[in-house]
Amino acid sequence: MENREIINIIKNDNKFSTEIANKLKAELENNGYKVSDEYNKDAVLNISVGGDGSFLRSLRINDFPDIPIIGVNTGSLGFYPELSPKDINSFVKDYCSGNYTINKLYLLQCEIFRQNTSETIFALNDIAMKGDKTKTIHLDIFIDYNHLQTISGDGVIISTPMGSSAYNYSVGGSIVYPSLNTLQLTPIAPLNSKAYRCLNSGIVVPPELHITVVPEYKYLEDVIFSVDGEEFNYERITHANFFVSKKHVNMLTLGSFNYWKVIKEKFI
């Protein structure tokens, strides 16, 4: 059986992932697909083999492509990767017979401004803004250009609904159903004393509103952006704007995506 369609397998370096990726490659080739060793932009499908970190990374390093993606979980939690290694053969069968659906997941977009320059970054889960030292960081928060509060503490997390069950949930934020297409801003260890009053819950905003964060440079010069768990250090930024992007990821799912089932299986 020969078809010329290409599938990318993007895996992490662990031994089990390599073993599973080889098995998957053999099964796909048996069904006539070409599995290229290097990432191919003309592929019809991306398959990530690893945990959530690998899934997120495979999207980020390839600039969040339109190519549909599904994951095989060889990691510890595996919120995104729907397949377990034992499902490989049945997945290939389902994929060949078109037995799947595609869900659009909208990205978080962030414009980071310096004196004369700006830069755009994207995330599927979240972006956390934190100080690069252990000192308290003070961040002025604006929602839809209205000043809300100065949040003092370890920083803030801005998360998508899909990312709401990750870092956001660990700091007391709410789990948000993905079809709501909102953003959540949640403080990390906010100060509350006679000197400081800070919001200590998450705020959920609709997609058309911008969240602006302006760091106050009293104690530190640098701000760390943790983008889907990968750290970037920015010096002397003036502000950052966050909003729901027009850009999305196409997540392939077998049958229909059942968010509550995933939440119950992975969290409760």
* The one segment of 2-10, 104-112, 163-171, 252-260 that binds ligand NAP by CB under 6 A: 163-171
Closest CB to Mn ion among 75 and 202? 75
DSSP secondary structure letters along 31-76? TT-EEESS--TT-SEEEEEESHHHHHHHHHTTTS-SS-EEEEE-SS
78 binds ligand NAP (CB under 6 A): yes
CB of 50 within 8 A of CB of 18?
Answer: no
Contacts of 266 (CB under 8 A, 6+ apart): 77, 78, 79, 165
173 binds ligand NAP (CB under 6 A): no
From the candidates 13, 42, 52, 66, give the one annotated as an active-site residue: 52
DSSP secondary structure letters along 172-195? TPPP--GGG--EEEEEES---SSS
* Strand 34-36 relative to strand 211-216, pairing: unpaired
66 labelled catalytic: no
126 binds ligand NAP (CB under 6 A): yes
57 binds Mn ion (CB under 5 A): no
Residues in the chain: 268
Among 6, 16, 27, 53, binds ligand NAP (CB under 6 A): 53
Closest CB to ligand NAP among 46 and 165? 165
Closest CB to ligand NAP among 75 and 155? 75
Residue 187 in tokens? 């403080």
Residues contributing to the site for Mn ion (CB under 5 A): 51, 53
Residues contributing to the site for ligand NAP (CB under 6 A): 51-53, 56, 75-79, 125-126, 162-163, 165-167, 170, 228-229
As annotated, the active-site residues are 52
